[in-house]
Structure 1
Amino acid sequence: MGGLTVTSSIKSFGGTLHKLSHDSTSTGTKMALNLFIPPAPPREPIKMPLLVYLSGLTCTGDNCAEKGFIQPHAVKYGIAVAYPDTSPRGAGVEGEDKDWDFGTGAGFYIDATNPPYDKNYKMYTYITKELPALLKEHYQEIDTERVSLMGHSMGGHGAMSIYLKNPGKYLSCSAFAPIANPVACPWGQKAFTGYFGPPPPTSSVESPTPSIWQQHDSTHLIKSYPQDTPMAIKIDVGTADKFYQDGQLLVENFEKAAREAKWGEAYVEVKKRDGYDHSYYFVSSFVKDHVDFHATFLLGVGQRRPDGLVVGEGAYQV
Structure 2
Amino acid sequence: MEKPTEISSSKMFGGYNKRYKHFSPTLGCSMIFSIYFPLSPPSQKIPVIFWLSGLTCTDENFITKSGAQRAASSDGIALVAPDTSPRGLNIEGEADSWDFGVGAGFYLNATEQKWKNWRMYDYVVKELPKVLSENFEQLDMSRVSISGHSMGGHGALTIYLKNPGKYKSVSAFSPITNPMNCPWGQKAFSNYLGSNKSDWEQYDATCLIRKCNKISVPILIDQGEDDKFLHDQLLPRNFEEACKSVNAPLILRLQPGYDHSYYFIATFIDDHIHHHAQALK
TM-score using structure 1 length: 0.86
Q: CA deviation at 1:143?
A: 0.6
Structure 1 segments, 4+ long, off by >2 Å, are: 229-232
Give the conservation status (yes or no) of the 8 Å contact 2:29–2:86: yes
1:74 to 72, 75, 78: 72
Rounded to whole Å, the distance in 2 between the matches of 1:129 and 1:257 is 28
* 1:225 matched to 2:223: no
Q: How does 1:238-253 map to 2 (within 5 A)?
A: 238-245=224-231, 247-253=232-238
Gaps of 5+ in 2: none
Which is worse superposed, 5-14 or 214-223? 5-14
- Aligned position for 2:124: 127
Q: How does 1:98-177 map to 2 (within 5 A)?
A: 98-118=96-116, 120-177=117-174
Give the conservation status (yes or no) of the 8 Å contact 1:171–1:232: no
SS at match of 1:45: coil
SS at match of 1:224: coil
- Aligned position for 1:213: 200
Q: CA deviation at 1:168?
A: 1.2
Q: How does 1:79-94 map to 2 (within 5 A)?
A: 79-94=77-92
1:262 to 227, 231, 247: 247
- Aligned position for 2:38: 38
Give the conservation status (yes or no) of the 8 Å contact 1:52–1:82: yes
Q: Which digits, 9 at most, give the CA deviation of each residue in 1:65-115, with x for residues without a partner?
A: 000111110001110110100000011211111110000000000000012
SS at match of 2:113: coil
2:273 to 280, 284, 291: 291
1:235 to 221, 231, 240: 221
RMSD of Structure 2 on Structure 1 (CA): 1.2
Give the conservation status (yes or no) of the 8 Å contact 2:107–2:120: yes
TM-score using structure 2 length: 0.98
Identical-residue share of aligned pairs (%): 48
Gaps of 5+ in 1: 201-210, 300-318
Q: Which digits, 9 at most, give the CA deviation of each residue in 1:188-242, with x for residues without a partner?
A: 0000001001142xxxxxxxxxx22000100000001013x53431000000000
Rounded to whole Å, the distance in 1 between the matches of 2:102 and 2:218 is 31
* 1:273 matched to 2:271: no
Rounded to whole Å, the distance in 2 between the matches of 1:96 and 1:148 is 30
By percentage of residues, which structure has more helix? Answer: 2
Give the letter aligned to residue 274 of structure 2.
D
Give the conservation status (yes or no) of the 8 Å contact 1:239–1:273: yes
SS at match of 1:278: coil
Q: How does 1:44-55 map to 2 (within 5 A)?
A: 45-55=43-53
